[in-house]
Amino acid sequence: AQSVAQPEDQVNVAEGNPLTVKCTYSVSGNPYLFWYVQYPNRGLQFLLKYITGDNLVKGSYGFEAEFNKSQTSFHLKKPSALVSDSALYFCAVRVLGNNNDMRFGAGTRLTVKP
């Protein structure tokens, strides 16, 4: 079975500091990994995905994520946080052969303080 873990319910950072939102996964097979963000009163917005190739994936709003196969992780990062980055972040995984089952983590609430 495939699963995703977001070990931190809440992440707090100061504006201008780097941020990391952690995600680890467990799958049998090659993972396809996604990050989504949910701003207040909005739907989930796609940030980035890892399919194959370069382990460092760049996405929207200056975010990037690094696929680490040995550590089964796909942490979301940004070099300099903005107050407007405050939102709920979800990591998700899919596996070939199980197309319809996108497994999400429980979400991490990021708060960026001025």
Partner 1 sequence: EAGVTQFPSHSVIEKGQTVTLRCDPISGHDNLYWYRRVMGKEIKFLLHFVKESKQDESGMPNNRFLAERTGGTYSTLKVQPAELEDSGVYFCASSPLGGVTDTQYFGPGTRLTVL
Instruction: By CB under 8 A, name the binding residues for partner 1.
Output: 4, 32, 34, 36, 41-46, 49, 51, 90, 92, 94-107
CB-wise, 22 or 103, nearer to partner 1?
Answer: 103
Own/partner long-range contacts of 100-103 (Cβ < 8 Å, ≥24 apart): 101/2, 102/34, 103/2, 103/3, 103/4
Identity of the residue, 84 or 101, whose beta carbon is nearer to partner 1 in the bound complex:
101
Q: Find the shortest distance in angstroms from Cβ 79 to partner 1.
A: 24
Whose Cβ is closer to partner 1: residue 14's or residue 39's?
39
How many other C-beta atoms lie within 10 A of the C-beta of residue 27?
Answer: 19
Phi and psi torsions of 60, nearest 5°: -75, 160
